[in-house]
Amino acid sequence: MIAISYTFQDAAGNPIANGLATFQLNTDAVTSSNQQINAGIVTSFVLDGSGTLTGNIWPNDQLTPTNTVYKVLVYTNPGQLVWRGDLIIVTP
């Protein structure tokens, strides 16, 4: 696992303060330390006042199969979906 930090903003450039970001793998995977990760598990991160999440997650370059991506959804504090996308996280 590695520490990650991402900052999310709305279309006007305002931070998604105190929002929520969810990460879910697109397929089941096995880590470099031979742990299984089920694609059905959703990992949630609470965003701080500047719209930034910090936490730990398995980078995609340490997962098998090699074509994994994280499906990411970002919500405002009241729960409105404001961003959806795919992220590939690599070891720094």
Q: Are 87 and 72 in contact (CB under 8 A)?
A: yes
Q: Are 75 and 32 in contact (CB under 8 A)?
A: no
What is the structure's pLDDT at 52? 96
SS3 68: coil
Assess if residue 70 is contained within a domain.
yes
Tens digit of pLDDT for each residue in 21-76?
999 999 999 998 999 999 999 999 999 999 999 999 999 999 999 999 999 999 99
Residue position matching structure tokens 């949630």: 44
Which CATH number does the domain housing residue 58 bear? 2.60.40
Assess if residue 92 is contained within a domain.
no
Q: Are 86 and 73 in contact (CB under 8 A)?
A: no
Assess if residue 16 is contained within a domain.
yes
Assess if residue 72 is contained within a domain.
yes
Assess if residue 60 is contained within a domain.
yes
Number of structural domains, the chain? Answer: 1
Confidence of residue 11 (pLDDT cuts 50, 70, 90): confident
CA atoms of 83 and 68, how far apart (whole Å): 20
Q: Which domain holds residue 69?
A: 2-87
Q: Nearest Cα to 64, choosing from 24, 22, 36?
A: 36
